Amino acid sequence: MKVLVTGGGGFLGRYIVEQLVARGEQVRSFGRGSYPDLEASGVEVVRGDIADRDAVLRACQGVEVVYHVAALPGIAMQWRPYEQANIRGTEHVIAACREHGVARLVYTSSPSVTFAGVDQCGVDEQAPYDFDWMIAHRAHYSRSKAIAEQAVLAANDARLRTCALRPHLIWGPRDNHLIPRLIARARAGRLRRVGDGKNRVDTIYVENAAVAHLQAADALLDASSPAAGKAYFLSQNEPVNCWDWIDEILALVDVPPVRKTISRRNAERAGLVLENVYRLLSLSGEPTMTRFLAAQLATSHWFDLSAARRDFGYAPAISSSEGMRRLGAWLRS
């Protein structure tokens, strides 16, 4: 079977590619980079931009399953790049699946599509989107992912079975986004505990997130699959104290725990000032703080995984302690 992974050279995408190769699939990776190591393992690497309709159309030719992982992450203040990459890119993927008769599409979404600035404790997939909150707080990533998720789920039908996965706080070896930023900020003395430090969050080890993608795609083989047209939260299924977890990561590289604290209110005030500066001056990159980020760091968000367990058998195979051991070995290597 030939499969396509958009963003196959990225953090999560690479693990999905590797697991597909390990079970004997013919894998094509689509992204903007060049990845000789993937090619050496037998992966067909196709270069292109997810916002380029024709490039996406060519990439989907001849494949049976698409894992759409590619996305623009972050908290930048310009809407258009998120719209182009995350919304238009996903529309291109859906259209290409239609054009080439692709039977299954698994979309990597985000739990932040249901985040509205308040605690989420044990919520399930019935949690609604709150576009008003996203727009008011310039949560461009969340808003773009929510719109794209809606498009993917709406595309589900007898010819193209789709589902969306929402892995929360992906971490592990080869992380090029979350872990390096935490460590860099802590070493520079710029990491602050936001809020009272009691908030609990879900996380997910990257290999568990990758396995879930394969499980969901396998479930969609069945024309009557309960996974078709649905979204699912994913995690380690063991909420942790957010700041204790961050301190545990910092300890892996002998960085002291976070000591300084800022209230959520003051963090949001600082975030609003920075948001306005970046927006008014059309600055690229990301502010060091935004109202969305302050809310994320100060609130609890953990989820009910019953649906993923029931509909495609998801359960974290790699424990958090084993994941931390592997992460520490990679960070020290």
Task: Please name each of the domains of the chain with its CATH number.
Answer: 2-332 (3.40.50.720)
**Measuring CA to CA, how many Å separate 105 from each of 163, 233, 330?**
7, 17, 32
Positive or negative CA dihedral for 81, 140, 87, 121? Answer: positive
Beta bridge partners of 120: 301
- Is residue 268 very low, low, confident or very high in pLDDT (cuts 50, 70, 90)? very high
- What pLDDT shows up at residue 261? 97
Task: Reply yes or no on whether the pLDDT at 253 is more than 90.
Answer: yes
Phi, psi of 68 (to 5 degrees): -95, 95
Beta bridge partners of 201: 240, 301
Helix, strand, or coil here: 326? Answer: helix
- What pLDDT shows up at residue 1? 80
Residue 195 contacts residue 264 (beta carbons within 8 Å): yes
Mean pLDDT of the region 21-50: 96
Q: Provide the edge-to-edge strand list for the sheet that holds 120-123.
A: 120-123, 301-303, 200-201, 240-241
Mean pLDDT of the region 3-21: 98
Beta bridge partners of 30: 6, 46
Residues annotated catalytic, as ranges: 141
Distance between alpha carbon 322 and the CA centroid of its chain, in Å? 21
Residue 41 contacts residue 52 (beta carbons within 8 Å): no
Which element (helix H / strand E) includes 309? helix 306-312
- What pLDDT shows up at residue 53? 97
Which element (helix H / strand E) includes 253? none
Characterize the bridge pairing of strands 104-108 and 161-167.
parallel
Report how far residue 152's alpha carbon sits from residue 167's, in angstroms, rounded to the nearest whole number: 16
Q: Return the DSSP state at 301.
A: E
Nearest 10 degrees: Cα torsion 25, 48, 81, 17 = 20
Characterize the bridge pairing of strands 104-108 and 65-68.
parallel
- Is residue 269 very low, low, confident or very high in pLDDT (cuts 50, 70, 90)? very high
Per residue in 115-137, pLDDT tens? 999 999 999 999 999 999 999 99
Task: Reply yes or no on whether the pLDDT at 77 is more than 90.
Answer: yes
Report how far residue 217's alpha carbon sits from residue 95's, in angstroms, rounded to the nearest whole number: 19
Residue 149 contacts residue 112 (beta carbons within 8 Å): no
- Is residue 192 very low, low, confident or very high in pLDDT (cuts 50, 70, 90)? very high
Q: Return the DSSP state at 113.
A: G
**Average of per-residue pLDDT values in the chain:** 97
Mean pLDDT of the region 303-317: 98
- What pLDDT shows up at residue 12? 98
Give every CB contact of residue 265 below 8 A, 6+ residues apart in sequence: none
Kindly provide the residue ranges of all beta strands, DSSP E only, lying in the chain, ordered along the sequence. 2-6, 26-31, 44-47, 65-68, 104-108, 120-123, 161-167, 170-171, 193-194, 200-201, 204-205, 230-234, 240-241, 261-262, 301-303
- Is residue 318 very low, low, confident or very high in pLDDT (cuts 50, 70, 90)? very high
Which element (helix H / strand E) includes 200? strand 200-201
- What pLDDT shows up at residue 214? 98
Give every CB contact of residue 226 below 8 A, 6+ residues apart in sequence: 219, 310, 311
Per residue in 274-308, pLDDT tens? 999 999 999 989 999 999 999 999 999 999 999 99
Kindly provide the residue ranges of all beta strands, DSSP E only, lying in 92-160, ordered along the sequence. 104-108, 120-123
- What pLDDT shows up at residue 280? 92
Residue 90 contacts residue 152 (beta carbons within 8 Å): yes
pTM score over 0.75? yes
Task: Reply yes or no on whether the pLDDT at 202 is more than 90.
Answer: yes
Report how far residue 242's alpha carbon sits from residue 257's, in angstroms, rounded to the nearest whole number: 12
